[in-house]
Amino acid sequence: MYIIMVASECAPVAKVGGLGDVVFGLSRELEIRGHSVEIVLPKYDCMRYDHIWGLQVSYENLWVPWFNFHIRCTVWFGFVHGRKCYFIEPHSHDRFFERGAYYGFTDEHVRFAFFSKAALEFMLTAGKRPDIIHTHDWQTALVPVMLYEIYKFSGMENCRACHTLHNFRHQGIAGENILWFTGLGRPDYYYDRNRMGDDFNPSAINFTKGAVVYSNFVTTVSPRHAWEVRHTEWGYGLGHILYVYQNKFGGVLNGLDYEMWNSETDPHIPHRYGAGDFAGKNKNKEALRARMWLRQEKKPLIAYVGRLDMQKGVPLIRHALFHSLHRGAQFVLLGASPELGINAEFWQLKHEHNDNPDCHLEIGYDEELAHLIYAGADMLVVPSLFEPCGLTQMIALRYGAVPIVRWVGGLADTVFDRDYSDRPVRERNGYVFHQADNAGIESAMDRAIGLWFDYPADFRDLAANGMHYDYSWNRPGGDYLHIYELIRQK
């Protein structure tokens, strides 16, 4: 099968969060299974160019229709750790992707509507006719709409669209101008509630709703979250349209790239180790402490890695820090937030704990350091308010760090409580709490810290259970192929 992924991120070259990991990992798995996969991305100026091999111009003059004129683009080709990637570089005064950051601009909808249009225009003019176009999140949600409303009539009628929703909170809410820019036009037609008209804002179109209506199949990133978005507030208003299209909607648990996240071969950690080799893991703990100026003492090390976003339970992350110290554990944090207020709050915390030998906060994005933290930590907290899938708990499991998570979304699908799960003992791999409050997270942390101090052998067994889990792309890769086959026959 010939598959083209169109996305705003791909790890490690352009990664902000889990979306980037998924685009890379799924593409790799599909290629291993013998399928041809290409990835189309914007050519951001801030990308990690050191992860691209053989970058060269592939298509010089791609003229993309935009409103009543054209924007010239150069399309580049390069390999990102073996994946075939095309990078679209528009030449316009707007400098859509030359702004020193991936996201966070006031014309976000215009930037990504343009990218979606350019990706389709590139396929059309370069003669690419994939069996499947797989798009991700709101940034590329207009691709299925334009495929079926415009490009289908220019020779792309055999392409099928699969759309994956990684985060329902951001849906791409925009005004009529996007319709004129992209050539879709006809506001009366698209503002219809059965197409792209937003259910809550009559003067807006909703990109994600468009993707749900027009795609041949829609997925989200865990079965539990697929239920939550239809039946709870976590659908952020899309519950009804997902109900209407329930027959083409499902949850596929994300996989983890086991090449990239492998404690036995990881180039970013000083001591490589396998399942059950806790002496090796301990050496990484010592290295992590040295790197973070923490004292070397017999204490458990608890970590948080991830975006500092309200979704991730910011007050609970903060509380986890204080509670760790209160219970005689050490705490490290690696995270950043685009929201100035949250960033400032954590900078303040960092200054307050500057001289504390049991605590260190690193505010920023650091891929290499993240690897060392997973390898060195005994436990990882993930107290999210909602979590479509979550990768950090899966990475923690793989690196023998016991996850302490809230029972939501993909966290509920991947972490099984040591004391209360109804699974067999050997399949229990962490600690789970339900209430999103201090008492909730304390109850789970106390049980984890207690086990570490009082029954270290049992704690190691629990961590080893986690290391034996298979959360690779093996299974989800097969699930996506089934979906592709299903829609290809339509």
Q: Give 17 or 65: the residue with its C-beta nearer to ligand ADP.
A: 17
Rank residues 185 and 315 by Cβ distance to ligand ADP and give the closer one.
Answer: 315
215 or 254, CB closer to ligand ADP?
254
Stretch in the footprint of ligand ADP (CB under 6 A) among 16-24, 113-121, 148-156, 443-451 = 16-24
Of 210 and 335, CB closest to ligand ADP: 335
Question: Which range binds ligand ADP by CB under 6 A, 76-84, 313-321, 329-337, 433-441?
Answer: 329-337
Is there a contact between 217 and 162 (Cβ–Cβ < 8 Å)?
A: yes
Tell me how far, at minimum, the Cβ of 25 lies from ligand ADP, in Å. Answer: 10
CB of 484 to ligand ADP, least distance (A): 23
Give a three-class secondary structure readout of the chain. Answer: CEEEEECCCECCCECCCHHHHHHHHHHHHHHHCCCEEEEEEECCCCCCHHHEEEEEEEEEEEEEEECCEEEEEEEEEEEECCEEEEEEEEECCCCCCCCCCCCCCCCHHHHHHHHHHHHHHHHHHCCCCCCEEEEECHHHCHHHHHHHHCHHHHCCCCCEEEEEECCCCCCCEECCHHHHHHCCCCHHHHCCCCCCECCCCCCCEEHHHHHHHHCCEEEECCHHHHHHHHHCHHHCCCHHHHHHCHHHEEECCCCECCCCCCCCCCCCCCCCCCCCCHHHHHHHHHHHHHHCCCCCCCCCEEEEECCCCHHHCHHHHHHHHHHHHHCCCEEEEEECCCCHHHHHHHHHHHHHCCCCCCEEEEECCCHHHHHHHHHHCCEEEECCCCCCCCCHHHHHHHCCCEEEEECCHHHHHHCCECCCCCCCHHHCCEEEECCCCHHHHHHHHHHHHHHHHHCHHHHHHHHHHHHHCCCECHHHHHHHHHHHHHHHCC
Site of tokens 């954590």? 346
Residue nearest to ligand ADP (CB): 18
Between CA 435 and CA 440, with CA 436 as vertex, the angle to 5 degrees is 55
Residue placing its CB nearer to ligand ADP in the complex, 21 or 198: 21
Q: How far is the CB of 93 from ligand ADP (least distance, A)?
A: 32
Instruction: State which of residues 25, 78, 390, 409 lies at the interface with ligand ADP (CB under 6 A).
Output: 390
Minimum Å distance from CB 47 to ligand ADP?
16
Cα 144 to Cα 214: distance, rounded to the nearest angstrom: 6
Interacting stretch for ligand ADP, rule CB under 6 A, among 12-20, 108-116, 148-156, 243-251? 12-20
Q: Tell me the C-alpha distance between 26 and 43, whole Å.
A: 21
The window from 15-23, 51-59, 135-143, 232-240 that contacts ligand ADP (CB under 6 A) reads 15-23
- From the CB of 155, what's the least distance to ligand ADP, in Å? 36
Q: How far is the CB of 291 from ligand ADP (least distance, A)?
A: 14
369 backbone dihedrals φ, ψ, rounded to 5° = -60, -35
Q: Which of 116, 171, 330, 392 binds ligand ADP (CB under 6 A)?
A: 392
> Would you say how long the chain is, in residues?
490
Among the candidate windows 140-148, 229-237, 289-297, 360-368, which touches ligand ADP by CB under 6 A?
360-368
Binding map of ligand ADP across residues 20-39, x = CB under 6 A, - = no contact: -x------------------
Which are the contacts of 299, defined by CB distance < 8 A and separation ≥ 6? 328, 329, 330, 358
- Residue with the two structure tokens 């010939």: 2
Q: How far is the CB of 80 from ligand ADP (least distance, A)?
A: 16
Question: Within positions 285 to 324, which residues make up the interface with ligand ADP, using CB under 6 A?
Answer: 305-307
Residue 432 in the binding site for ligand ADP (CB under 6 A): no
The residue written with tokens 């820090």 in the block is: 321
Our CB check for ligand ADP shows the closer of 264 and 368 to be: 368
Number of residues near ligand ADP (by CB under 6 A)? 18
The contact pattern for ligand ADP, residues 252-291, with x = CB under 6 A and - = no contact, is ----------------------------------------
User: To the nearest whole angstrom, how small is the minimum distance from the Cβ of residue 336 to ligand ADP?
Assistant: 5
Strands 132-136 and 2-6: parallel
Point out which span in 83-91, 184-192, 331-339, 453-461 binds ligand ADP (CB under 6 A): 331-339
Q: Which stretch in 263-271, 342-350, 388-396, 480-488 sits in contact with ligand ADP by CB under 6 A?
A: 388-396
Residue 323: both structure tokens together: 């509670």
Window 333-352: residues binding ligand ADP (CB under 6 A)? 334-336
Interface residue with ligand ADP, options 94, 131, 366, 437 (CB under 6 A) = 366
Q: Which is nearer to ligand ADP, 304 or 459 (CB)?
A: 304
CB of 480 to ligand ADP, least distance (A): 17
The CB-of-119 to ligand ADP minimum distance in angstroms stands at 22
Q: Least distance to ligand ADP from the beta carbon of 95, Å?
A: 26
Which of 18, 42, 313, 430 binds ligand ADP (CB under 6 A)? It is: 18
- Given the rule CB under 6 A, which residues bind ligand ADP? 17-19, 21, 305-307, 334-336, 365-367, 370, 389-392
